[in-house]
Chain A
Amino acid sequence: QPVLTQPPSVSGAPGQRITISCTGSSSNIGAGYEVLWYQQLPGAAPKLLIYENSNRPSGVPDRFSGSKSGASASLAITGLQAVDEADYYCQSYDNSLTGYVFGTGTKVTVL
C-alpha cells in the first residue's frame, strides 16, 4: 500500500548533515497536501518531528528541518548525533486512496 517512497537507509558521521527524501505523486504531495515527518526510536511509538511541511513542534531541536517541492519532500538533519539513530517516516494525505498514507521508512545510522 505505501505510496510515498523513501530510501531504505541513510548514514552519516557524527556532526554531518544528511537528508531523507520522500517521493509522492499528483494524488498526495503533488496535490498540495502537507507533509509531516515522524521519528521512531527502537521499540517506541513514532514521534511528530515536522508538520505543515517545515514546522517543528515545541521541543524538537532546530537540527531537524523539512521542505517540500512539487510531489516530493525532504527531511534534513544537521549536526548528526548518535541519538538520531532511528526510523523516519514521511506522511501525507492521498485523495485517490481517500486516506492518510505513510512513507516506506528510512533507517538512519550514525557511523
Chain B
Amino acid sequence: QVHLRESGPGLVEPSGTLSLTCTVSSGSVRYYYWNWIRQSPGRGPEWIGYIYYSGSTNYNPSLKSRVAISADMSKDQFSLHLSSVTAADTAVYFCAVGSGWQRVFEHWGQGARVTVSS
C-alpha cells in the first residue's frame, strides 16, 4: 500500500516562498518519479515538476523560474519550494509518485490547501 502525505504552511504571504514536504511510504516498491501537482479552485490539475530518483529534476516551463524540488531519499521525503508567490498560486498542492516517465502520477497524496494572502 502506497501512502503519501503533504505537510507545510497553509498560508503564505504574497512575494514569499511556498514550501511543502511530501513523505512517501511505499513499502518495498520503488517509485522513480516524485512529482508536485497543483489544482486551483474549479480548474484541472497542473503539473509543477518532478525529481527523479537519481536527483535530476524537470519543471513545468511556465513555473521553472520560481520552482525548486529537492529530496532526501534516505527519509523518503521530497520538498517543493515556489518563490515570489501571488494570489494566483493559491491552490491545493498534491504530491504524486510514478514508476515510469509516461506513468508519473500513479499514486497521489491527499493534498495540502495553500492560500496566498496577507
Which residues of A come within 8 Å of B, CB atoms?
A: 1-2, 33-34, 36, 38, 44-48, 51-52, 57, 89, 91, 93, 97-105
Interface residue B60 (Cβ < 8 Å from any Cβ of A): yes
Is A89 touching B103 in the complex (CB atoms < 8 A)?
no
A47 near B62 (CB under 8 angstroms)? Answer: no
Sorting the interface of chain B by its residue count into under 10, 10 to 19, 20 to 34 or 35 or more gives 20 to 34
* Chain B interface mostly: loop
* B62: min CB distance to chain A, Å: 7
Count of inter-chain pairs, beta carbons less than 8 A: 56
Tell me if A102 and B46 are in contact (CB < 8 A).
yes
- The residue in chain B whose Cβ has the minimal distance to the Cβ of A4 is B44
Q: Which of A38, A101, A102 has most chain B Cβ within 10 Å? A: A102
A47:B108 contact, CB within 8 angstroms:
yes
Q: Is the CB of A104 within 8 A of B44?
A: yes
B61 contacts A45, CB within 8 Å? Answer: no
Question: Nearest chain A CB to B50's CB is how many angstroms away?
Answer: 9
Q: How far is the CB of A92 from chain B (nearest CB, A)?
A: 8
Give the residue of A46, A57, A97, A100 whose beta carbon is less than 8 angstroms from that of B104.
A100
Q: Are B106 and A2 in contact (CB under 8 A)?
A: no
Contact between B105 and A36 (Cβ–Cβ < 8 Å)?
Answer: yes
Known A-B contacts A33-B102, A52-B102, A52-B103; A1 and B108 likewise in contact (beta carbons under 8 Å)? no
| B108 nearest CB neighbor, chain A only | A45
